[in-house]
Structure 1
Amino acid sequence: MLSARPEWLKPKAEGAGVERKIRWGVLATGGIAASFTQDLLGMPEDAEVVAVASRTLEGAKGFAERFGIPGAYGSWAELAEDGDVDVVYVATPHAAHRAAAGLCLEAGKPVLCEKPFTLNAREAQELVALARQRGVFLMEAMWTYCSPVVRRLVEVVAEGAIGEVRTVHADFGLVGPDDPGHRLRDPAAGGGALLDLGVYPVAFAQLLLGEPDRVQADALLSPEGVDLNTGMLLGWDSGATALLSCSIVADTPLTASVTGTAGRIEFPRGFFYPEGFTLFRDGRDPEEFRVEGRRDSMQHEAAEVMRCLRAGETESPLVPLDGTLAVMRTLDAVRDRVGVRYPGE
């Protein structure tokens, strides 16, 4: 979806032909917010962070002092209404994504919202509908989709290098906290392995195959009712399948592979922010694909947001909203199969 370039992004008369920096606001002050802010600070020619918001002014001021950010707010609404902020990065725990992103969209602010996009597909659809109604940019912060390596993977598969895709394998597991009060084990916070970690394998499979026609799943649940260890089998009418898993009780390989009728592609540990992949085809030597630079950088997704804003695009072709909605529907289906419900659903 395209719209005219906003007035606030057009070059000033004295700097004709020169794109000015995009001014970011950061909503939340946790670890992921810090990582993203640090990466934005590494793009001084393109971006600047001008404000941060937290539920407390003290927390916002501490974050602002840490990163040299001029503006600090003790409420989300103040950030959403700040006329000096061009786009907001929402980095709250995902149970608050619907409220935080919705507040910014209502104020006409473009939004980059962390993954998982929301708690469920209903909330995701509400945000997408709001953004489209208002003509405001919205994108899920799915850094995997913006990775140059993964973008090259899509090209290689589209070129027919491995024939028709038949199977996808991917896993994401770690040894998480034992504390039942931790957000990963708290149903009210959208806890469990699936939304925090399983979103990566599901998004990876759907990047290549689209939304599945069938979803099967099994899981180990905690006494609090969140999934600790989950296995998923996705099926497509084409005959393709995806075997995926996620865990917060086991350190899994964190690898992925894509197999087609004429070859396969393998990703090493850390497939969700890969440094490269290997293409195997019968009768040929393995081919290595690598990209220089930090593989875990969030700069790629930030750059895509800023490219879209300058081009007047309200949705990213790399992380399309329809794709985000499709992933959320699959996550809902998995939770339905294993019996995970969050308060209020």
Structure 2
Amino acid sequence: MKKIKWGIIGCGDVTEKKSGPAFNKVSNSMLVAVMRRNADKAKDYAQRHNVPKWYTNGEDLINDPEVNAVYIATPPSSHEMYCIAAINAGKPVYVEKPMSNNTAEAWKMANLAAQKNVPLAVAHYRRQQPFFKKIKQLIEDEIIGAVHFVQLQYCKKALTATELLDKRIAWRVDPSIAGGGLFHDLAPHQLDLMHYFFGEAATVHGVATNNAGLYAADDTVAGNILFKNGVVFNGIWSFGIAAAAERDWCEITGSRGTIGFSVFDGRTITITINDETEQITFDALQHVQQPMIAAVVEYFSGGTENPCSAQDGALIMQWMEAMTRNS
């Protein structure tokens, strides 16, 4: 089993703690190179994280003979370009979510990886965290009986004028860079969990609107999914409400009770059956992507199946487009 030697393209904020350090903490894995277009920032990241090499050009990192796997952590608008370059170089890819700017790009990436027989995994990393694996186990064990429906609410206050002037934040609401607004940035985590829990969808519908009018992307989305197993999902995402109304809550309702949890902020699963409530609490992870990175390393090494396939990533893009096309 050869050691996976990673190169990161786009060593920005998401890689500082969530993912970057984990590449050196996982067995059979090490981070050997990073790339950022700004030379000073690339060099600074490499020095602070003890990475031997840094680049300002993605192609140079991909073509480094020591790099045998590539993690793409740039904004979605450049995922397809870098992913295709890495696949054509024969190097396995771990790409951030959302997988791309749109479904067409995502399927192009997935199809090329399959054609070239190059591993491609998507960073829907919550499905590998113990917290969400426990929820999946509770569902499969029918702790709350047969699941009937799921309700999800994710509501956040509007971005301030100051935040919209910050390039590190503003790109997330620029459709040309992010593929959509904050829905496209955050909903992939939630929708992938629904796919992880309940499988394939029979139908996906939704509406999207720009209520606050603060930026080009839609700030409110309502989505519905009928899964092939009969489970019904209803979700609402709003990014322009008052701070007091902020909410991050998902509740799964079955024939015997409910399972409730926060996707982004919580560490506690609340199970209610016949008016009796039990809570299961998990410790916070130091690096939230570490369990997924460990699984991807195993996959790239030939030891396991893909923990989140390119087809899964493209499917979530397809669901988001179905919810936001307003037809």
Give the TM-score of the pair, scaled to structure 2.
0.86
Contact 2:154 2:236 survives alignment (8 Å)? yes
Assess, with a 3 A threshold, how the Cα gap between structure 1 residues 44 and 157 changes in structure 2: closer, same or farther: closer
User: Helix, strand or coil for the counterpart of 1:199?
Assistant: helix
- 2:219 aligns to what? 228
Contact 2:204 2:322 survives alignment (8 Å)? no
1:172-208 CA deviation, whole Å, 9 max, x = no partner? Answer: 3433353377212322112412211222232232222
- 2:201 aligns to what? 211
1:224-272 CA deviation, whole Å, 9 max, x = no partner? Answer: 53111222233346553212122333453212111112221111x4x24
- 2:177 aligns to what? 189
Assess, with a 3 A threshold, how the Cα gap between structure 1 residues 25 and 237 changes in structure 2: closer, same or farther: closer
- 1:341 aligns to what? none
Find the aligned partners of 1:326 and 1:45 in 2 and give their Cα distance: 30
Q: Which has the higher strand share?
A: 2
| Cα drift, residue 214 of structure 1 | 3.4
User: Helix, strand or coil for the counterpart of 1:85?
Assistant: coil
Contact 1:201 1:245 survives alignment (8 Å)? no
Q: Which runs of 5+ in 2 are unaligned?
A: none
- 1:30 aligns to what? 12
Assess, with a 3 A threshold, how the Cα gap between structure 1 residues 132 and 273 changes in structure 2: closer, same or farther: farther
| Cα drift, residue 311 of structure 1 | 2.5
Contact 2:106 2:314 survives alignment (8 Å)? yes
User: Helix, strand or coil for the counterpart of 2:82?
Assistant: helix
Question: What pairs with 1:282-293 in structure 2 (closer than 5 Å)?
Answer: 282=274, 285-293=276-284
Contact 1:60 1:74 survives alignment (8 Å)? yes
RMSD: 2.5
Assess, with a 3 A threshold, how the Cα gap between structure 1 residues 237 and 40 changes in structure 2: closer, same or farther: closer
Contact 1:193 1:229 survives alignment (8 Å)? no
- 1:309 aligns to what? 300
Structure 2 residue aligned with 1:260, among 248, 254, 257? 254
- 1:277 aligns to what? 269
Structure 1 residue aligned with 2:123, among 105, 117, 141? 141
1:36-90 CA deviation, whole Å, 9 max, x = no partner? Answer: 113334x165432110012243332222122121111111011111121232111
User: Helix, strand or coil for the counterpart of 2:325?
Assistant: helix
1:141-174 CA deviation, whole Å, 9 max, x = no partner? Answer: 1111111121121122112222222211223343
Please tell me the residue identity of whatever aligns with 2:271. L
Please tell me the residue identity of whatever aligns with 2:56. G
Assess, with a 3 A threshold, how the Cα gap between structure 1 residues 197 and 44 changes in structure 2: closer, same or farther: closer
User: Helix, strand or coil for the counterpart of 2:326?
Assistant: helix
Contact 2:207 2:221 survives alignment (8 Å)? yes
User: Helix, strand or coil for the counterpart of 1:24?
Assistant: strand
Instruction: Number of aligned residue pairs: give it.
Output: 314
Is residue 309 of structure 2 the alignment partner of residue 320 of structure 1?
A: yes
Give the TM-score of the pair, scaled to structure 1.
0.82
User: Helix, strand or coil for the counterpart of 1:337?
Assistant: coil
Contact 1:26 1:53 survives alignment (8 Å)? yes
- 1:331 aligns to what? 320
Q: Which runs of 5+ in 1 are unaligned?
A: 1-8, 11-20, 339-345
Please tell me the residue identity of whatever aligns with 1:333. A
